[in-house]
């Protein structure tokens, strides 16, 4: 190896030692060992060390084609020691601050989504139920004369609901098509059964309405 390559390798390994210290503190912060089961901690530890080893080897390969020298280990230890002595406290404060603001921002997004989507949908559903109940109450009081009007009001209401929910249904349909067929087929069979039950219920309601209109 040339001197330039050795110098680049030395700096890279010092940087990886600093990175490893920060990664280890971040890993411990999110793992919370005292609250986890032993097998869960064991598996995560193995995965963590394997990933770090692969990253270090990748940087080493990019630096000097993967040639191992004794000073590489010393450079890693030097970088890790520098992190522990000089950077650890500052990094942990920065990490906690980042976690705090990410939590704040995620809660804000949840509240915004609830305000813009969930509450309007709930209000729309409540409005639809109220209108349907009102129509049935009017039909029960006045009978046949308003049956024709009620049918067209229901059709208009269904059309409005379809227009409002079109962006959501189209997005859901696109996401559904991206799911593998093996996962989709059981769910589709379940919804087909629900659709069959819904058709039977619809036919029963139509028969009852016809009997009610004939009697009135």
Q: What is the mean pLDDT of each run of 10 residues along the chain (216 residues)?
A: 73 87 88 82 88 86 77 85 88 90 85 72 72 65 58 69 68 67 65 67 65 57
- Delimit the domains of the chain by residue range: 3-91, 182-216
* pLDDT for position 29: 87
pTM: 0.54
> Exposed, middle or buried by CB within 10 Å (0-12, 13-18, 19+), for 97?
exposed
Q: 40-74: per-residue pLDDT in tens?
A: 888 988 998 898 888 888 888 887 776 777 778 88
Measured between alpha carbons, how far is 45 from 37 in angstroms, rounded to an integer?
12
* pLDDT for position 56: 85
Residues 24-38 as b or e (16 or more Cβ within 10 Å = b): bbebeeeeeeeeeee
* pLDDT for position 97: 92
């Amino acid at each position: 190896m040339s001197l330039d390559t050795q110098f680049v390798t030395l700096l890279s390994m010092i940087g990886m030692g600093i990175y490893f210290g920060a990664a280890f503190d971040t890993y411990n912060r999110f793992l919370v060992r005292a609250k986890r089961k032993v097998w869960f901690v064991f598996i995560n530890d193995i995965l963590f060390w394997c990933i770090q080893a692969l990253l270090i080897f990748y940087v080493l390969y990019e630096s000097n084609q993967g040639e191992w020298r004794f000073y590489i280990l010393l450079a890693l230890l030097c970088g890790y020691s520098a992190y522990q002595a000089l950077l650890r406290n500052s990094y942990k404060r920065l990490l906690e601050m980042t976690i705090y603001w990410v939590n704040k921002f995620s809660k804000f997004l949840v509240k915004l989504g609830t305000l813009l989507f969930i509450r309007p949908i709930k209000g729309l559903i409540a409005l639809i139920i109220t209108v349907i109940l009102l129509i049935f109450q009017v039909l029960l009081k006045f009978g046949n004369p308003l049956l024709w009007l009620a049918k067209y009001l229901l059709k208009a209401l269904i059309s409005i609901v379809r227009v409002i929910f079109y962006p959501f249904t189209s997005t859901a349909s696109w996401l559904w098509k991206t799911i593998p067929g093996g996962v989709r087929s059981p769910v589709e069979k379940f919804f087909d059964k629900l659709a069959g039950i819904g058709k039977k219920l619809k036919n029963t309601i139509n028969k009852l309405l016809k009997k009610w209109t004939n009697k009135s």
